[in-house]
Amino acid sequence: DLRFALDLPGPADPGVALPAGGGDLGKVYLAHLAALRKGDVDALVGTMTRERAAELQAHRNDADFKMMFGFIQSQALRAPKYVAGHVKGDSATLDYQGKDADGKAVVSTVSMRREDGAWKVERESTQAGG
């Protein structure tokens, strides 16, 4: 008799499911979108991870910042509808459906990180669909 032990990777553990609307993390993301739409850079920076906020702040005095920021604003998710989310340790992922600037359906995945006890937006990826 031969016996083998196989250590095959299974599906990744996404962590604990978030409540409807994404709970406190969903509120942070919606505040992020609101600050972006308003053009309130200071409020926006407050919703972002230190690294991402530093990238934005580093260009704040650039001659073309207003144009660059306008482009970022134009890419913001419109009519966001929470779909699902999970948290594992200091990382979380939220999925939203919404519309792009042209009114086309998109899906957006938001990665968040807990820094100093507060949830912050780390990055966002948006694709056609929904």
Give the whole-number percent of the chain exceeding pLDDT 70.
92
**Which amino acid, one-letter code, is at 38?**
K
Q: Supply 124's token pair.
A: 């966002």
pLDDT higher than 80, residue 127? yes
**What pLDDT shows up at residue 13?**
81
Q: CB under 8 Å to 60, separation ≥6 — which residues?
A: 41
* Contact assessment for residue 109 and residue 94, using Cβ atoms and an 8 Å cutoff: yes
How large is the C-alpha radius of gyration of the chain? 18
H or E, element range at 13: none
Residue 9 pLDDT grade (very low, low, confident, very high; cuts 50, 70, 90)? confident
Q: Over the stretch 79-111, which tens digit does the pLDDT of each residue have?
A: 999 999 999 999 999 999 999 999 999 999 999
pTM listed for this prediction: 0.88
